[in-house]
Structure 1
Amino acid sequence: MDMQPPRHITERLQHIRSGDNGPFSTAGLIKTIIWSICYFFFYFGQQVAELLAPIFLILGIGWYLLPHIVSAITTSAASADPQAKDIMNHVAGTLPTHLQIAGHYVTATSLIFDGFLLMALAAIGATLSALTARQM
C-alpha cells in the first residue's frame, strides 16, 4: 500500500525545492511592507478626519446660528431697557461673518462644508484601509 502525502504538503515541498519561499520571499516581503505603509497612511488619514469632522461641523453650525439667535433675542427684547437693547445690537453687529486665518478665508458655511468633506475623507480612508488590509 503506497501512502501519498496530502496535496498541500507536496506543493509546499515543490516550492522549497524550487527555491521559492512563498510569503517569506524577498518579493513577498517588499509587497507586505508597501501594503503596510499604505495601510498606515490610509488609517491615519481616517483617524484625523474622524477627529476633525465633528469639530468643524459644530463650530460651523454654532457660528452660523449665533447671529440668528442674537438677533432673535434683540428683537424679542423690544420692551427691555434701551441701554440693554443698544448693547445687544452692538454685540449682534460685532459678530464676524468671516475670518482670515493665515491667508485662508473662513466662513461658517465653509466650516460646515469642510466638516462634510472630512467625513467623506474618513469613509474613503476606511474603505482603502480595508482594501489594503486584504492585500497584505
Structure 2
Amino acid sequence: MDMQPPSHITDRLLGRSSRSDSSLTTSSMIRTGIWSVCYFAFYLAQQIAELLAPLLLILGVGWYILPHIVNAITTSAATADPQARDIMNHVAGTLPNHLQIGSHLITPGSLIFDGILLMAIAAIGATVSALAARNM
C-alpha cells in the first residue's frame, strides 16, 4: 500500500500555489491592512486624548477654584490695609467666569467635562486598538 500525502500538502511543500491560496493571501493582506489603519487611528486618538485630558482637567479645576480662593482672601483681608483690599477686589473682579472664543463658550465646567470626555475617548481608543492588534 502506497501512502502519499494529499496533493494540497505536496503542492505547499514544493512551493506550488493554487488559485485559492493566492486569493486567501490577498484577502488576508487586505484584512491586515484595514486592521492596521484602524489600529493606527485609534492609537493616535488615544495618545492625543491622554495628552490633553489632564491639561483640561487641571485648567478647569484651577479656573473653578481660583475665584473662590481670591474671594476668601479678600474677605479675610477686610481688616487689612484699604489699598491691599482694593487690589484684591480688583483682581477678583478681573477673573472671568467664561470665555467666548468665536462661537465657542468655554467655562470651568466645560473644561472639566471635556477632560473627562477625553479620558473616555482614551479608554475607547485603547480598547479598539487592542482589538485591532489582536485581529491583525
**TM class, shorter-length:** 0.7 to 0.9
**1:16-63 deviation per Cα after TM superposition (whole angstroms, max 9, x unaligned):** 55330487x211111111110111000000000000000000000000
| TM-score for the superposition, normalised by structure 1 | 0.86
- Which ranges in structure 1 are unaligned for 5 or more consecutive residues? none
Indicate the percent of aligned positions where both proteins have the same amino acid.
67
Query: Is 2:40 the partner of 1:40?
Result: yes
Which residue is equivalent to 2:12?
Answer: 13
Q: 1:78 to 1:114 in 2, by over 3 A?
A: same
SS in 2 for 1:78: helix
SS in 1 for 2:133: helix
Question: What is the one-letter code of the residue matched to 1:54?
Answer: P
Which residue is equivalent to 1:71?
Answer: 71
Q: 1:80 to 1:4 in 2, by over 3 A?
A: farther
Which residue is equivalent to 1:126?
Answer: 126
- The alignment yields a C-alpha RMSD, in angstroms, of 2.7
Which residue is equivalent to 2:84?
Answer: 84
Q: 1:79 to 1:38 in 2, by over 3 A?
A: same
Spell out structure 1 runs of 4+ moving beyond 4 A.
2-5, 14-17
SS in 1 for 2:78: coil
Q: How many corresponding residue pairs? A: 133
Partners of 1:127 and 1:55 in 2: CA distance: 22
- Which ranges in structure 2 are unaligned for 5 or more consecutive residues? none
Partners of 2:64 and 2:94 in 1: CA distance: 14
